[in-house]
Structure 1
Amino acid sequence: MQTVEYSKINREVLFDNNNDEICILKNGIDYYFKLNLKDNHEKVVIFSNGAADRKKSELPIFMRHSWSDEINASCIYVDDRTIHNSNLMIGWGIGREDVHHLDEVGMIIRRILNRLDIKNSNTFYYGSSAGGMMSMILATKHKYTNAIVNNPQMITYNYLEGKPLAYIKNRFFQNYTQEEFIEKFKDRLSVPYLITQQNYIPRTLYILNKLSKIDYEEQFLPFTEEIEASGVNKTKIEYMLYNNKGLGHNPLPKERTIKIINAVLEGLF
């Protein structure tokens, strides 16, 4: 794996590391990506991780990287630096008190896309669960891009009664109470809060299993209520709701998901 300074990212470096993993140093921190760049496509899908099975996978982790050949676009896979140096399975890109890892990842992605001459409108962020939340934050801060999310956490402190978030707080934000932590870093922890703060919603396909209680009652309903109350223009969000008790929180199967992603790329949504 090649290590490249953020300031040294250019087209040649990116294609030298095509179909491979690359480590990008930014402000002394190592961020990891896997690239699948296709010269014959002008669009890109950026994948963020859901919960990682640390017993089966070593860091860095690039979920769904085997899908590349079936996606009608270039693909970039993002590792979540937050879970490094810990036993965490999910981190939502929250980072540490002095650095929001997802913000740093967003800046790296924007530089990569600039060097590849990929337009914002041709950029699509995809993720499910924790990856869905990261995709929403990345797209909200990367104007005129698109998000495709399946059963995302939109509000981290609602997820599993806030226990995973409490672990992150106790591990990396020890100087704060849970209430202080949520209040101070809310733009990292709540998508509707960030959307309200930015007064902007990216073009989004929100895919949701209504029979997954934790997703419907603890994420979808509070998200839609907060967005409704915010007064932000909601016309750019399209909802695809389905009912599958057996799948629960798990995303739609691979074949169905790839079909949806490719349909979105073709402008069918």
Structure 2
Amino acid sequence: MKNWVNNIINLKIDDITKYKFPTDEYFGLEVLDNNVKYEFIIRLSSSNKGLLCLGSGVIDQKTKSIPRFQRYRWKDHFEESLIYYFDPTLYLTDELQVGWCIGTKDDWYLEKISEIIKKIIHTSKIKEEHVLFYGTSAGGFVSAMLATMIKGSTAFVGNFQYSILKVHAKTHLENMKKYCFEGLNNETIKSEYGYRIDLIEMFKKEKYVPPIIYYVNANSKVDILGQCVPFIKDLEKLDYSDNDIEIIIYHDENGHRSRVIYGEAYEFIQMILKRKIYRYYNRSPVPNKKIIKINRENHALKAELKKMKNEIDKLNEENKNLKNNNIKSKMSNYLKACFKK
């Protein structure tokens, strides 16, 4: 951390909301929890209400030291508050180049990261609706997950992986399974830890879908066919959607790694931060517990009404059959009487 900033603050998670952080200057934050070190570089603006959160993606530990805060060169181009967070999963072994903030079977690092960021924004009086998580590829997955956990915030993701088990880079996937899940097979990971490795399962767990802007390269088959199309199909199966997920399909010959440099991303990020586009929080307020309860009651009421309708239809059919039988009986008796005469 000393290679990145001079001022480093060490806190416990419970002490974050009590601490008065400096403003308008960069500082490091180290939080030790359960023997895991969570590291952040932060600048809190005293004059801008927006917050941009940037995480890490693939890092080759054979050639680069950690912690490493990707896109740190962008820091002087934003007037908004900034939080850079590092994935401590990479400390498990230098064989890992990406960890999706998975952590271990017993300790989900991303959950702790979200808890720390929540405490920072609350103590800094930043509204969730002004928080934007940005990332591409693996960083996009983490950004979308964090936006799901920190309700009211927005995710802006590019060529991201909504499902880690569908990742095209199989070496990264196998290393993650080996060191994070102790070599468990895909089926066991899906059944026991599904919400940690699949965004749709996380939506189901939280019963919430955050605002997401998702741009994907049509010229990258691993993204458009391997992730985007299955993502849309899985979205269609959800019976709720709190916010819009807007998908922007573009064409770029650079494949999966396209449109990730500063010049391509900056203007788009600024438009979202300044709410010149995607004004989600004005249109779709975050549902509170009362609304969720009403929705559940409505679903139950609809099911009961459907059941009653089926019973009424059955009774009507029985009455119809009964009337037909009565008519047939009367007609038969009439004809018998006629023949007797």
- How high is the TM-score relative to the length of structure 1? 0.93
Report deviation, 1:253: 2.7
Q: Which residue of 1 aligns with 2:65?
A: 58
Question: Out of 190, 195, 208, which is 2:198 matched to?
Answer: 190
* Counterpart-to-counterpart distance in 2, 1:228 and 1:170: 32
Which is higher, the Rg of structure 1 or of structure 2?
Answer: 2
Cα deviation digits, residues 1-41 of structure 1 (max 9, x gap): 33222222247553289413221122332100011221111
Alpha-carbon offset, residue 246 of structure 1: 2.3
Corresponding residue number in structure 2 for 1:145: 153
| Counterpart code for 1:254 | Y
Match of 2:313?
Answer: none
**Alpha-carbon shift at residue 209 of structure 1 (Å):** 1.1
Relative distance call for 1:21 and 1:165 in structure 2 (3 A) is same
Query: Whole-Å Cα distance in 1 between the matches of residues 35 and 172 of structure 2?
Result: 27
| Corresponding residue SS for 2:256 | coil
Q: State whether structure 2 residue 237 is matched by structure 1 residue 226.
A: no
State the partner residue of 2:31.
24
Deviation sequence 1:185-209 (CA, Å, 0-9, x none)? 1101001121133231111111111
CA–CA distance in structure 2, aligned partners of residues 8 and 161 of structure 1: 39
* Alpha-carbon distance, 1:222 to partner: 0.7
Larger displacement relative to structure 2 (46-55 or 214-223): 46-55
Q: Deviations over 1:51-76 (max 9, x none)?
A: 11324431111111221221241110
Q: Which moved more, 1:251-260 or 1:115-124?
A: 251-260
Q: Distance in 2 between matches of 1:208 and 1:11?
A: 41
- In the TM superposition, 1:1-269 aligns within 5 A as 1-10=8-17, 12-15=19-22, 18-86=25-93, 87-160=95-168, 162-174=170-182, 176-233=184-241, 235-269=243-277
1:80-125 residue CA offsets vs partner (Å, 9 max, x unmatched): 0111131211101111011100000000000011110001111111
In structure 2, the gaps of 5 or more residues are 1-7, 278-341
Whether the 8 Å contact between 1:127 and 1:134 is mirrored in structure 2 is yes
* Cα distance in 1 for residues equivalent to 2:249 and 2:220: 11
Matches of 2:243 and 2:10, distance apart in 1: 41
**Gaps in structure 1 of 5+ consecutive residues:** none
Query: Does structure 1 conserve the Cα–Cα contact (< 8 Å) formed by 2:252 and 2:258?
Result: no
What secondary structure does 1:30 align onto? strand
Q: Of Structure 1 and Structure 2, which has the larger fraction of its residues in helix?
A: 2
Give the count of matched residue pairs: 269
More off after superposition, 87-96 vs 239-248: 239-248
Structure 2 residue matching 1:94: 3-state secondary structure:
coil
Asked whether the equivalents of residues 48 and 127 of structure 1 are also in contact (C-alpha less than 8 Å), the reply is yes
Q: Secondary structure at the match of 2:156?
A: strand
Going from structure 1 to structure 2, the CA distance change for 1:17 and 1:108 (only over 3 Å counts) comes to farther
Structure 1 stretches of 4+ moved >4 Å: 10-13
State the alpha-carbon separation in 1 of the partners of residues 41 and 218 from structure 2: 33
User: 3-state SS of the aligned residue for 1:184?
Assistant: helix
Pair 56,18 (structure 1): closer, same or farther in 2 beyond 3 Å:
farther
How far off its partner does 1:215 sit? 1.0
- Point out the structure with the larger strand share: 1
